[in-house]
Amino acid sequence: VSHQRTDWISIHSHICHLLIPVLGPQPCFHSEKDRKHGKEQLLRRQESLIALALSTAQGFVWDGKPLEAIPAALQALRFSSQVFGSGSVQLVPIYLLLAEASTGTGHLRQAAKYLSQAQWIILQTPNCSAALQSKLHRGLGLFSIAEGNLDQALYHLANDVYLATAEFGLNSVEVSGGYLNMANIFFHQNKMDAANSLYAQV
């Protein structure tokens, strides 16, 4: 019952009215033009569901409610797998979000599985963007912090900064997250010169 309540609060109360035209029986079309239009309409509805579920999950993570984020992110993963395929690069941000939410709930083993899925897809994707690789390294860095492996976290966050810089430029706001997480580690280690330098950079 508690899982159903969490699921309802997280996502189903938002998408219930959208599920019937997507999951229900599809109309029978008599012409190729109508069939094509029907497929395009179904795809638009699925993409709307994915976007809503993903933004809802991200909102819960930002609000510090990782448990509520998981059902919404799982819905985004389910429909994205159907639309794009289970090995598609479009699934990487969802896996990273699930890893972050799982880490936030203390389920590190599950978080590691989601990160492995994201890493595997990126490794299988030729010419994967530096922006997406940056997000992966940030996710791995945050996971390493949760594990208490600060040296490994610094390695991944340095890669995050490098890749974000390559994609967006040295003074872009996208780079600031990596700097901030590194600064927090140095602050925790009482390395104040390094921490203050990075905070100033942020």
Q: How confident is the model at residue 184 (pLDDT cuts 50, 70, 90)?
A: very high
Q: In this structure, are residues 53 and 72 in contact, taking their beta carbons and an 8 Å threshold?
A: yes
Q: How confident is the model at residue 8 (pLDDT cuts 50, 70, 90)?
A: very low
The count of residues in the chain is 202
Q: Rounded to 10 degrees, what is the CA torsion of 141, 147, 152, 154?
A: 50
The dihedral through the CA atoms of 106, 57, 60, 12 has a sign that is negative
pLDDT value, residue 50:
87
pLDDT value, residue 26:
54
pTM of the model: 0.81
Span 44-55, average pLDDT: 85
117-131: pLDDT as tens digits: 999 999 999 899 999
Q: Is the pLDDT of residue 2 over 50?
A: yes
Q: Rounded to 10 degrees, what is the CA torsion of 79, 81, 85, 87?
A: 150
Measured in Å, how far apart are the chain's first and last C-alpha atoms? Answer: 44
pLDDT value, residue 168:
95
Q: What percent of the chain has pLDDT over 70?
A: 80
Query: CA-CA distance, 40 to 46, in Å (whole number)?
Result: 10
- Tracing tokens 């941000």 back to the chain, one arrives at 93
* More confident of the two residues 114 and 7: 114
Q: Which domains does the chain have, with CATH numbers?
A: 1-127 (1.25.40), 129-201 (1.25.40)
Span 25-49, average pLDDT: 69
Q: In this structure, are residues 61 and 97 in contact, taking their beta carbons and an 8 Å threshold?
A: yes
Phi, psi of 148 (to 5 degrees): 85, 10
Q: Is the pLDDT of residue 3 over 80?
A: no
